[in-house]
Structure 1
Amino acid sequence: MQNTTYDPTIIHAWLAAPVRQQRFNSRPLHLVQPKQFRHDPSPPGYLESDASWSPQWVHTLVRRVLSGLTIPTHIIPGDHDFKPRSLDAYHRALSADRLPKAATINGHRCLFLDIVSAGAGGPDFQIGAEQTQWLEHELVQAEHNRFPVAVFMHAYPGDLREDSHEIGNLFARHRVAFVDTGHTHYNELLNDGTTIYAATRSTGQIEEGPVGFSIVTLDRGVASWRFKPLETGWPFVMITSPADYRLIIDPQSSSQVIHRPFQIRAKIWGSIAPGSVVWHGDDGIEHPMSPVADEPCV
């Protein structure tokens, strides 16, 4: 982490993580992630299944893929899972938890919602009175405990057939940090000034490029989002603070908007620990970064 004294309103920062390519050669690989920060605080996926596929076959395929993961997995249903007008096969095949459910993960309260089973199928998304009451209780408790909140649901609140404004206002009132969705079949980001909403495109969507997945980070109130195509290599580098200027929700926060001096934080995923990590701004001068205590690379 390195302090700086840049003057431009928008700062372009790049992060490079050199690692050894043990399988191919000994030359270092530099992965670069461009990111834009605002300096002046003044106002400025899910599975897509074809109807001809049996739900049992699709869920078996998903279970086989998930079995290779070593990280905890949380699953939420989409409208394609509800095509039989029941989630029984979904729960049976994937051993998925019944929703809603809540989990505290690294000081963040994560809420997982079911917006399909209360509806009539297809895009008839409904959250229901009982789940709405549960959600409001969880948000009140999280706010009391000072836990940032991330919500996981299949579609945006605006896609709900009923109470869409009520749910959106509930998220805003309790300052939910991030709402992660799917359904749209496209990568999307929305900043309503209080909450960041994101959608990750379907694995079958070919208009935006190769298949992949998204990674979201919440770092001291800063939300970041990146899409990683499966065909790209590792490590995967993600600047987690300061915020990309398009995702700022608190212009007064020093972790979101650059105030001199400032600190850059990043996360690196990969099986090989980088020998060194540096960042540089528009002047091209490299600044070394150091590991954060008790927050190792994954």
Structure 2
Amino acid sequence: MNPDDTVTVLIPGDLHLTEAGLPNHAAAVRTVADANELIRPDFVQFIGDNVQDGTDEQFSLFSDLCARLRVPWFALVGDHDAQGDPAACRFRARVGDPCGSLSVRGFRFVRLNTQEAHPVGLSARQMTWFRAEVDAARAAGERVVVLQHNYPYQIWEDFAGAGTDAWREVVQTRRVHAIVSGHTHYWQLANDGRNAAVAVRSIGDPEGGPPGYAVAAFHGEDFAVAYRPVDDCGPLVLVTHPREAILATGPAHVVTSADEVRARVWSAEPVRAVGLCVDGGAWVPMGPCGNGFWRAPLPGSRLAKGVHRLVVRAEDGTGGAGAHEVEFAVDPTGRYTAVPMVRPLVTSTAFC
């Protein structure tokens, strides 16, 4: 594993910007500071609903925020960005094309505009482009990550507008590495038995926890994601291998024999120690392996078939600490069928 091959993306939740100095604007400013000074991702992906009412003044506030970034960034269009402007003309003029793709180290990140029809929809033209883009990526040996504002599993809302049947045909018949969305206001990981999906909690109107952003890492068959509240200041830990069970969609994503644990640690202070614990057992030290990554052996051949719990914890020299806890699947035969599930289970929302 070459740490330099990992693609890292920072994804802020829906900002819903209206005025400078409000709590959501302050949280967005903190997110940009973390992108510049702590995470330093390959790019920042704004997930839509960047502004509340789609006005020129609000887009100016968003532009000022983006101008602070010292890394590449892209933005999706959300329903609030296109308020009273179905063609998203103001978004296009002030931000840019809401569709596009980017290839980075074996991954193709495809940005979709799910606001072409109210309340959700994609035009036939965009679907033709999307299908061709996915096929071209697969032909080039690239794994596809879909980025879109509307979350397919949003509760109390139908993902059933124009073009969504064609969207489902693409993602169900072609292997998609991950789907990343916003719109829900709550944080959730989902697996429909074929695709892994993430909904990032809103910064403007957060539900279920504090505002923050997601950090995702992509490397080969691995896909890892963690959520960081904007008021956290200790180390950020992301277990990048083994792949978390809820994000596992096939046999390539489970442990079959002796393996290793890998984690990426971001810290404003020098890291003093990183350790792991499996199923509540003894803590095992991990060693650095370059570019902020740490690793240690995983005795997969001695683990029983089934799901196991892994915690990786990092401490800095000032006593600050951070941890990431995941479950991973083990099957020595290499067989695995994904079971549809979501985490956390959300049964109500104030925003639909």
| TM-score bin, normalised by smaller chain | 0.7 to 0.9
Match of 1:104 in 2: 103
The corresponding residue for 1:22 is none
Higher strand share: 2
Cα distance, 1:272 vs structure 2: 4.4
Confirm or deny: 8 A CA contact 1:280 1:287 kept in the other structure.
Answer: no
- Kindly report structure 1 stretches of 4+ aligned residues shifted beyond 4 Å: 48-51
Say if 1:60 and 1:175 are closer, same or farther in 2 by CA, change over 3 A. same
1:263 pairs, out of 260, 264, 269, with 260
Aligned to 2:246, the other structure's residue is in SS state helix
Letter aligned with residue 232 of structure 1: D
Change in CA separation of 1:46 and 1:141 when aligned onto 2, cut-off 3 Å: closer
Deviates more, 1:156-165 or 1:261-270: 156-165
Q: How far apart in 2 are the matches of 1:207 and 1:195?
A: 24
State the match for 1:47 in structure 2.
49
**Cα deviations by residue, 1:108-166 (Å, 9 ceiling, x for unpaired):** 011111121x32x4x1x221111111111111111112211101111135624123233
Q: Distance in 2 between matches of 1:248 and 1:230?
A: 28
Q: Corresponding residue for 1:28? A: none
Q: What is aligned with 2:126?
A: 131
8 Å contact from structure 1 (residues 47, 202) kept in 2: no
1:205 to 1:280, Cα distance in 2 relative to 1, 3 A: same
Tell me, yes or no, if the aligned pair for 2:190 and 2:198 is still in contact at 8 Å.
yes
User: CA, structure 1 residues 235+70, in 2 after alignment: closer, same or farther (shift >3 Å)?
Assistant: farther
Q: Cα gap change, 1:163/1:46 in structure 2, threshold over 3 Å: closer, same or farther? A: closer
Number of positions where the alignment pairs a residue of Structure 1 with one of Structure 2: 241
Shifted more, 199-208 versus 155-164: the winner is: 155-164
Q: Secondary structure at the match of 1:171?
A: helix
1:237 CA displacement = 1.0
| Aligned equivalents of 2:194, 2:207: Cα separation in 1 | 30
Q: What letter is aligned with 2:260?
A: Q
> 1:76 corresponds to which residue?
76
1:113 aligns with 2:112: yes
Cα distance in 1, alignment partners of residues 271 and 80 from structure 2 = 41
- Distance in 1, Cα, partners of 2:65 & 2:221: 32
Q: Which runs of structure 2 are paired with 1:191-206 in the superposition (5 Å)?
A: 191-206=191-206
Higher relative contact order (CA closer than 8 Å, sequence separation 6+): 1
State the match for 1:19 in structure 2: none
Distance 1:144 1:186 in 2: 35
1:1-58 Cα distance to aligned partner (Å, 9 max, x none): 9xxxxxxxxxxxxxxxxxxxxxxxxxxxxxxxxxxxxxxxxxxx5437555xx62222
Q: C-alpha separation between the residues in 2 aligned to 1:270 and 1:92?
A: 37
Q: Find the residue that maps to 2:260 and give its secondary structure.
A: coil
8 Å CA contact 1:110–1:151 kept in 2: the answer is yes
Gaps of 5+ in 2: 2-46, 153-157, 294-352
CA RMSD of aligned residues (A): 2.3
- Three-state SS of the structure 1 residue aligned to 2:271 is coil
Q: CA deviation at 1:296?
A: 5.1
With normalisation by structure 1, the TM-score equals 0.73
Per-residue deviation at 1:216?
1.9
Partners in 2 of 1:264 and 1:63 — Cα distance? 40
Structure 2 letter corresponding to 1:191: N
C-alpha contact (below 8 Å) 1:248/1:257 kept by paired residues: yes
Identity of aligned residues (%): 22
> Structure 2 vs 1, CA of residues 162 and 84 (structure 1 numbering), >3 Å: closer, same or farther?
closer
Deviations 1:246-280 (Å, cap 9, x if unpaired)?
22111x22xx2223311111122344453543323
Gap change, CA 1:179 and 1:206, over 3 Å in 2: closer
Aligned partner of 1:87 in structure 2 is 88
Distance 2:62 2:276 in 1: 38
Shift in alpha-carbon separation, 1:202–1:285, aligned structure 2, 3 A: closer
Listed as ranges, the gaps of 5+ residues in structure 1 are 2-44
Distance, in Å, in 2 between the alignment partners of 1:74 and 1:65 is 13
Q: Decide whether the 8 Å contact of 1:217 with 1:225 is kept in 2.
A: yes
Evaluate the alpha carbon distance shift between residue 214 and residue 185 of structure 1 in structure 2; reply closer, same or farther with a 3 A threshold: same
